[in-house]
Chain A
């Protein structure tokens, strides 16, 4: 698991890569918490390079969504690969977390 992020005018784009499973989910959560500032209005989690996410990883995404909801920030996922998308679809979380095909579309949707 590795994350990389960049911030531009209140929009934080986080790119997650490799695998997130129960062995590194806690670190994933800590890395996301460290990256996100209360002043971020829009946070986009780009999963293009993420090859696998377990239920422990899903929980981290949900925790992050809840944190951002509390601070009234927009949150979306984008660029999910086939297997990662499947995990979100099976669990039904694609119904409660916005998912977009690309960063551009996610930004457009959130910044309206």
Chain B
């Protein structure tokens, strides 16, 4: 071990007065180089007082047989006053009973009388080296706990920006939900209130997961919302968000994003697709088809891309199911994917009465299918339903 750090403060506890000058003399080099500092106490009571007053002490080196409070009693009190130090015991040669008791009470090591100072120096170094590693591990654990707390905050922030209340209007219903695979995810969905009663609906999936994806997701969602509010058509919205995300994106993060605008006045939905899974349109009888495709690449990787858009008519009772690939690519114990057909079967087996129960039905079906297989991708489902007259 490199003798560069320190000084380490060592409390020597012994009732025999000749130990102090001996220690100072034999350890003078380490004292002079600034590695060790020694403080002395005559017995356990005095040692505990010193530990209480001096929180710089790293290590206790204690005799066992002492008046007032012996070394074993001292050991039993150390965790209460100084939990982050190590103790080394000096015992009579061959006194295995006391040595064992000391070790059981948490002593790190022991040396025997008469003290061999070279052996003592090595023992002290071993104790200090172990102490450093132990302190580093404790610090890492504390950092990890702090990081986990931050992730927890990030998760709450992320969940808090997802819509939890949905418009309940006579003409239509909306409901959506997202379950992240890790603490923080890369999926999101949004419901944007536009002018003239129009409603913007978005579902998106950021490449990768975890904190970087979550940060990109937050940026994507903010850019989308502001672009959507600018009264633009879906194709213009995607073009703008793509260019804004592209700036300073060396990590080549990207987001697949499906954005649709529903106009209650006409019953029409206009949409554009940036590389996302095409939603499903489910009819009153439970049959369903994938929304006709539009050309468009995932957002954030190529500037100046153009996006196509389409307009479809939503009949009363029709439901549009937006989702991310966490739904269709959920895997079961046989390594099969949930797939499009199973998604469609969700609605043939139980007719959709309302948006909320339809969302729940998708999550239930995916969870039942996956069984005990751990979820490895974020799962998002957003359902829009035009009410029946």
Q: Chain A: residues with CB nearer than 8 A to chain B?
A: 21-23, 25, 54-56, 58-59, 62-63, 66, 90-93, 95-96
Contacts and interface: CB of A to CB of B under 8 A. Distances in A.
Given A55-B256, A59-B252, A62-B252, A92 B205 contact: no
Contacts of B253: 59
B385 interface: no
Contact of B208 (A25, A91, A96): A25
Contacts of B295: 92, 95
Chain B residues touching A, range = 20 to 34
A93 B256 CA distance: 11
B287 to A, nearest CB: 23
A91 B297 contact: yes
A36 to B, nearest CB: 16
Given A23-B376, A91-B256, A92-B296, A55 B302 contact: no
B252 A91 contact: no
12 contacts: A22-B208, A55-B206, A56-B209, A59-B251, A62-B252, A63-B252, A90-B276, A91-B254, A91-B275, A92-B296, A95-B297, A96-B302
Say whether chain B's binding surface is mostly helix, strand, loop, or mixed.
loop
A18 to B, nearest CB: 12
A54 B252 contact: no
A13 to B, nearest CB: 23
B207 interface: yes
A66 B252 contact: yes
Contacts of A55: 205-208, 254, 256, 325
Interface string B116-128: 0000000000000
A91 B298 contact: yes
Contacts of A92: 274-275, 295-298
A21 B275 contact: no
Given A91-B275, A93-B275, A54 B377 contact: yes
A37 to B, nearest CB: 21
B301 interface: yes
Interface string B286-308: 00000000011110011000000
Contacts of B376: 21-23
B209 A90 contact: no
B208 A56 contact: yes
Closest 9 CB pairs of A and B: A92-B297, A91-B275, A55-B207, A56-B208, A92-B275, A59-B207, A62-B252, A91-B298, A63-B252
A93 B207 contact: no
Contacts of A54: 329, 377
Contacts of A66: 252
B277 interface: yes
Given A90-B275, A92-B275, A96-B302, A59 B208 contact: yes
A68 to B, nearest CB: 13
Contacts of A96: 297, 301-302
Contacts of A58: 207, 254, 298
A25 to B, nearest CB: 7
